[in-house]
Amino acid sequence: MNEEAEGKSARLRRHLLSLLGDELAPHDRLPTERSLAEEFGASRLTVRLVLDQLEREGRVYRVQGSGTFASEPRIAKSVELTSFSEDMRARGLRPGSLAVTEERIPAGAEVGYALGISPSAEVLHVRRVRTADGEPICLEHSYLPSALVPGTLGEALRGSLYEELAGHGLALRRAEQTIRATVLDPADARELRVAAFSPAFLVQRTAYDARGRAVERALSLYRADRYSYELTIYRD
Ligand code: GLP
């Protein structure tokens, strides 16, 4: 690309980013390629390349024959130890839960190991579909040792699990977490209202209270189209 085209594409990109940031709501249509080309005195090719880049970054999506549209914002996740409810509220979204169930089961090898208890020790398994403004974005399994959480949590699970635990002297302080890429099996995909085998993040967390007790082992499947991880990283 020559220097002039480069200047135009940088201006066009800035313009589109500011439209996406301030003026366009998710799924609003962007101006047509032709009108952008005219407005910026750029070639259609330059406009297309700028839009291609925004599409790769997940800022816009295209519908053949109908145009380019603003994507839903991804919900950026910080590495602070936060709850789902806090994450959503920080982004101006209303957290919620659907299809909440709780059951007592033996921990099994993986959960028992993570929680530092016997595989035969009992845990409370809480399963929830987490929503943001009513839209399902995460399927969450939490396992809590029955020795620490002997009662049922009932209605409290419609709100924040972490607030409920804090109310029982189990405030969480630290967590170990791994994040891997995966795809959603058909049943999970249906609950998250996406196509079978859509990409997802699998977040595995073991969370500890201030006394160092492992309180929660959680497996969360986040829709990859609605979630991103944001880190602040430092260098000495
Ligand atoms: C995040 C964590 C889960 C945790 C949940 C608690 O989603 N990945 O491990 O169970 O937060 O969220 P809340 O307090 O909103 O129920």
- Which structure tokens are listed for 195? 């196509």
**Residue 207 alpha carbon, nearest atom of ligand 1:** 9
Which range has highest mean pLDDT (73-87, 129-143, 152-166)?
A: 129-143
Give residues (CB < 6 A) around ligand 1.
83-85, 95, 140, 142, 160-163, 203, 205, 216, 218, 220
Of 3 and 26, more confident: 26
**Residue 163 alpha carbon, nearest atom of ligand 1:** 14
- pLDDT tens-digit series, residues 89-106: 988 899 999 988 999 999
Taking the centre of ligand 1 as the mean of its atom positions, its distance from the CA of residue 58, in whole angstroms, is 26
pTM of the predicted structure, to 2 decimals = 0.71
Q: What is the pLDDT of residue 46?
A: 94
Q: Which of 229, 51, 205, 222 is nearest to 130 (CA)?
A: 222
Of 18 and 228, more confident: 18
Name the residue at shortest CA distance from atom 3 of ligand 1. Answer: 218
End-to-end C-alpha distance for the chain, whole angstroms: 38
Q: What is the pLDDT of residue 65?
A: 86
Q: How many CB atoms lie within 10 A of CB 154?
A: 10
- Which structure tokens are listed for 64? 């053949």
Taking the centre of ligand 1 as the mean of its atom positions, its distance from the CA of residue 68, in whole angstroms, is 35
DSSP state at residue 23: I
Name the residue at shortest CA distance from atom 8 of ligand 1. Answer: 220
Q: What is the pLDDT of residue 212?
A: 87
**Residue 126 alpha carbon, nearest atom of ligand 1:** 10
- pLDDT tens-digit series, residues 203-232: 999 999 988 899 999 999 999 998 877 666
